[in-house]
Amino acid sequence: DTGVSQNPRHKITKRGQNVTFRCDPISEHNRLYWYRQTLGQGPEFLTYFQNEAQLEKSRLLSDRFSAERPKGSFSTLEIQRTEQGDSAMYLCASRRSGVDTQYFGPGTRLTVL
Amino acid sequence: AQKVTQAQTEISVVEKEDVTLDCVYETRDTTYYLFWYKQPPSGELVFLIRRNSFDEQNEISGRYSWNFQKSTSSFNFTITASQVVDSAVYFCALTPETGGYNKLIFGAGTRLAVHP
């Protein structure tokens, strides 16, 4: 099995710019999750997809955040008009249907200057 | 409330010592799953174990063992004869039946430093 992959691994941007991250899940996994992790904290759930349908969004996901999974395979997470408070590690995970374990990618570390 | 508490922020041990990482959880659900993940300095969360709420049997995997006690809502993790490679941040997580087991609720993590 190829694991979950995320690109880029690091992103440095200036406040106000837009950024987009990509996640490629494990190939047979139909559920895909995004989490955000700030320094010294555990990951916090942002949103998840079952195939191409986005089924739940956290209140943490402000209007500046949008996630897509157009063909039920890879997913993108876009942040518009970035703010310094968006600086964090953005983690993607995937799993199969039913009760199963979420497997995580290496994350994208975002720094907003 | 659905919550996971890892009261130990940092633990420092010398190689070959045994160490126990504590995890206490809160949930209204009767059916749920508990997890432990390891996050080495590279940042990727590595899955270690999953237990369901109906299985209180302790589990051992090599130097790792887990003690699940519903009576105290705890799911503690012990590393026997610790090694430098065990140095990482360890997270305990809960996924309740509410929401279809889709949301992992993490504790704040325990940073373990194993010194030679």
Q: Identity (one letter) of the amino acid at B27?
A: T
Among A89, A99, A102, whose Cβ lies nearest the Cβ of B104? A102
For A102-112, the pLDDT digits (tens) are: 999 999 999 99
Structure confidence at residue B100 (pLDDT): 84
- List the structure tokens of B26: 């809160």
Q: Is the pLDDT of residue A49 over 60?
A: yes
> Measured between CB atoms, which of A42, A45, A93 is closest to B109?
A42
DSSP state of B21: E
Q: Which tens digits make up the pLDDT trace of B41-85?
A: 988 999 999 999 998 888 899 999 999 999 999 999 999 999 999
Q: Which candidate, A107, A65, A59, places its Cα nearest to that of A86? A: A65
With an 8 Å Cβ cutoff, are A33 and B37 in contact? no
Q: What is the pLDDT of residues A62-97, one digit of tens each?
A: 999 999 999 889 999 999 999 999 999 999 999 998
Query: What's the pLDDT at A97?
Result: 85
- Contact call for A56 and B102, based on CB within 8 A: yes
DSSP assigned state of A66: E
Please indicate whether, in this complex, the C-beta atoms of B103 and A89 are within 8 angstroms of each other.
no
Partner A contacted by B91 (CB < 8 A): yes
Q: Using CB atoms within 10 A of its CB, is residue A34 exposed (0-12), middle (13-18) or buried (19+)?
A: buried
Q: How far A77 CA sits from the closest chain B CA (Å)?
A: 18
Q: Is B37 on the interface with A (CB under 8 A)?
A: yes
Which residue in the block uniquely carries the two structure tokens 């995580």? A104
